[in-house]
Amino acid sequence: MGGTGKTPMVEYLTELLLKNQISVAILSRGYKRKTSGYIMASASTTSKEIGDEPYQLKRKFEKALVAVCENRVTGIKKLIESGNKPDVIILDDAFQHRSVSAGLNILLTDYHKPYFKDWILPSGNLRESASNMKRADIFVVTKSPVDISEYSKKEFQEKINPAKSQTLYFAHIEYEKLKPFLTSIGIDFNDSNSPEYSVLLFTGISNPDPLINYLKPKFKELFSIKFADHYNYALKDFDKINQQFRDISNSKKILITTEKDIARIEKTETAEHFKKIPLYCVPIKISFNKQEDIFTFDNKILNYVGEDSRNL
Q: Give per-residue pLDDT as tens, 66-104.
A: 999 999 999 999 999 988 899 999 998 888 877 888 899
Q: What is the tens place of the pLDDT at every residue in 29-63? A: 998 899 999 999 998 999 999 999 999 999 999 99
Provide the strand spans (E) within 105-260: 106-110, 138-142, 167-175, 179-180, 198-203, 221-226, 253-258
Average pLDDT of the chain is 92
Burial 258-275 (b: 16+ CB within 10 A, else e): bbbbbbbbbebebbebbe
Strand order in the sheet with 88-91: 39-40, 65-68, 24-28, 88-91
Question: What mean pLDDT is predicted for residues 144-152?
Answer: 94
Cα separation, 46 vs 265, in Å, equals 10
Contact status, residue 107 vs residue 138, Cβ threshold 8 Å: yes
CA distances from 179 to 29, 42, 191, 254, 303 (A): 28, 23, 11, 12, 35
Q: What is the tens place of the pLDDT at every residue in 101-147? A: 889 999 999 999 999 999 998 899 888 899 999 999 999 999 999 99
In the chain, pLDDT over 70 holds for what percent of residues? 97
Question: What mean pLDDT is predicted for residues 186-193?
Answer: 80
Cα separation, 268 vs 202, in Å, equals 17
Q: List beta partners, residue 134.
A: none
Q: Which helix (H) or strand (E) holds 304?
A: helix 291-307
Tell which CATH architecture fits domain 6-175+286-311: 3-Layer(aba) Sandwich (3.40)
The ranges assigned to domains in the chain are 6-175+286-311, 179-282
* CA atoms within 13 A of residue 165's CA, in its CB half-sphere: 7
Q: What is the tens place of the pLDDT at every residue in 245-255? A: 999 999 999 99
Long-range contacts of 58-62 (CB under 8 A, 24+ apart): 59/263, 60/11, 60/14, 61/11, 61/14, 61/15, 61/18, 61/24, 61/26
Contact status, residue 32 vs residue 230, Cβ threshold 8 Å: yes
**103 CB burial (10 A radius; 0-12, 13-18, 19+):** middle
- Does 179-282 match 6-175+286-311 at the fold level? yes
Q: What is the CATH number of domain 179-282?
A: 3.40.50
